[in-house]
């Protein structure tokens, strides 16, 4: 069934290294069914927005929080009224793996809305498919789907989307004990598309969203210090109190001897300025053991230098870094360590939606790494791990949405058997 949408509010448009982003005030609404969403294109392109009123599958909600009880700290998952299509969010407290193969992912989890037809701008898209996303959460689910052990730490709204995301983590065998709910802010939303001209386009609903409000006092340090790898991005550095929570979590992990994995995942329009983004992203650079960046991020961090020049890339290699990875989309990736460097080609597939491909790559690599850190010093085995990671990323682009498209271990192994570069 189609669904009409009326949008009213102020909109800011920005460009991010060839991508367009629209940032909006946060809508108040509730979902009643899990479905694809149909939006009249004219309403999405309109620049007078204020609230989101959905007439068919999403019904307007009041401007106050959802009315559910405020969770205590640390959060226990609140009981809530039964609603068609939803189950009460629950925590898989017993799934924490203490075998020292745990990867803990810290940061944002949100809802991605992806056009049902590829190659269109957000304004041109006739309908959107809703899918769980958020880079750190994508990595956590990706690792679990491959058969690894992972946990997610972050905050969502105490709303239907928040409960849905908590349940999705549980259903995918991701430990969600470190997940928190905020009764006063909503779960973040992002509309994302790759247009026919290759330009990525984003539209975010935040200001503030619940992920921005995670406090240091809400962190589960027991999970953090039990990890073997602690993975994070840079979006959690944009605002307080989440910035302080991020720094405290990473410090606790480092002090406990946990390997730190960093994917900046630059979303420039979410930052106050380009300079503040560059400063904050680099402020935690030297503490990371593994860093993954894209070509576009190299251009940004080096103020426009050539991302294919090894001497330029080596400028980002700090003395304590064990491995720097540069993803090149369908072309694969490059790797740089203290002792060697090289390139691993990509797996060729028909692309439908690139959302989450980089996260699937990270998940594929960390899944391999967590069981044996010694591959960081063995170039041959490192290349095999990166080939697995490339295949994991490639398989993800064949479907719409990030988490729904993340592959199983068997799917990756099958793809590797028919590898064509």
Of 5 and 140, which is predicted with more confidence?
A: 140
What is the rounded average pLDDT of the residues 12-27? 38
Q: Which CATH architecture has domain 103-109+134-183+216-420?
A: 3-Layer(aba) Sandwich (3.40)
Rg (CA), the chain: 20
- CA dist., res. 218 & res. 202, Å (int): 30
- In the structure, how many helices (H) and strands (E) does the chain have? 11, 20
Residue 105's contacts (CB-CB under 8 Å, 6 or more residues apart) are: 136, 137, 139, 140, 143, 150, 151, 152, 153, 231, 232
SS3 263: coil
| CA atoms 118, 119, 125, 128: torsion sign | positive
For residue 38, give the H/E element and its range.
Answer: strand 36-38
What pLDDT digit, counting tens, does each position of 122-174 carry? 888 999 989 899 999 999 999 999 999 999 999 999 999 999 999 999 999 99
Domains of the chain: which residue ranges? 103-109+134-183+216-420
Mean pLDDT taken over the chain: 80
- With a pLDDT cut of 90, the percent of the chain lying above it is 62
Q: How far apart, in whole angstroms, are the C-alpha atoms of residue 407 and residue 329? A: 17
pLDDT per residue as tens digits for the range 363-390: 999 999 999 999 999 999 999 999 999 9
What does the pLDDT read at residue 174?
98
Q: What is the pLDDT of residue 420?
A: 55
One-character DSSP codes across 68-109: PPPPPSSPPPPP---BTTB------GGG---SS-EEEEES--
Question: What 3 state SS string does 103-128 have?
Answer: EEEECCCEEEEEECCCECCCCCCCEE
Going by pLDDT thresholds of 50, 70 and 90, the confidence category of residue 350 is confident
Q: What pLDDT, on a 0 to 100 scale, did the predictor assign at position 358?
A: 95
Q: How confident is the model at residue 115 (pLDDT cuts 50, 70, 90)?
A: confident
Distance, CA of 384 to CA of 396 (rounded, Å): 19
Pull the structure tokens for residue 306.
């050539």
Q: What is the mean pLDDT of residues 290-317?
A: 96
pLDDT at 53: 28
pTM value? 0.79
pLDDT over threshold 90, residue 291: yes
Confidence of residue 197 (pLDDT cuts 50, 70, 90): low
Percent residues over pLDDT 70 in the chain: 75
């Amino acid at each position: 069934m189609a669904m009409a949408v009326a949008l009213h509010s102020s909109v800011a448009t920005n460009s991010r290294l060839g991508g367009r982003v629209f940032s909006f005030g946060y809508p108040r609404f509730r979902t009643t069914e899990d479905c694809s969403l149909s939006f009249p294109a004219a309403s999405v392109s309109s620049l007078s927005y204020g609230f989101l009123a959905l007439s068919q599958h999403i019904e307007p909600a009041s401007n106050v929080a959802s009315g559910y009880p405020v969770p205590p700290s640390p959060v226990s998952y609140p009981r809530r009224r039964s609603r068609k299509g939803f189950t009460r969010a629950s925590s898989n407290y017993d799934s924490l793996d203490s075998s020292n193969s745990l990867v803990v992912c810290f940061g944002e989890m949100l809802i991605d809305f992806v056009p049902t037809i590829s190659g269109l701008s957000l304004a041109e898209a006739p309908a959107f498919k809703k899918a769980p996303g958020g880079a750190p959460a994508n990595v956590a689910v990706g690792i679990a789907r491959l058969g690894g052990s992972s946990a997610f730490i972050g905050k969502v709204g105490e709303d239907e989307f928040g409960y849905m995301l908590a349940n999705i983590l549980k259903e995918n065998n991701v430990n969600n004990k470190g997940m928190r709910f905020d009764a006063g802010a909503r779960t973040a939303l992002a509309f994302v598309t790759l247009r026919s001209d290759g330009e990525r386009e984003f539209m975010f609903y935040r200001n503030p969203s619940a992920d921005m409000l995670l406090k240091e006092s809400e962190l589960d340090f027991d999970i953090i210090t039990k990890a073997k790898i602690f993975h994070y991005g840079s979006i959690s550095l944009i605002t307080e109190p989440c910035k302080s929570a991020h720094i405290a979590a990473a410090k606790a992990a480092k002090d406990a001897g946990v390997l730190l994995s960093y994917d900046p995942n630059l979303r420039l329009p979410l930052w106050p300025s380009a300079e503040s983004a560059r400063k904050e992203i680099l402020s935690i650079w030297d503490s990371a053991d593994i860093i993954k960046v894209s070509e576009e991020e190299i251009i940004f961090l080096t103020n426009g230098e050539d991302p294919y020049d090894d001497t330029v890339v080596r400028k980002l290699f700090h003395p304590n870094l064990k491995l720097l990875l540069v993803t090149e989309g369908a072309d694969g990736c490059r790797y740089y360590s203290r002792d060697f460097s090289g390139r691993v080609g990509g797996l060729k597939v028909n692309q439908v939606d690139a959302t989450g491909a980089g996260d699937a790559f990270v998940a594929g690599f960390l899944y391999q790494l967590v069981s044996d850190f010694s591959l960081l010093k063995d170039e041959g085995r490192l290349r095999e791990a990166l080939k697995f990671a490339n295949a994991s990323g490639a398989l993800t682009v064949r479907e719409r949405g990030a988490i729904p498209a993340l592959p199983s271990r068997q799917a990756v192994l099958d793809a590797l058997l028919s590898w064509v570069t």
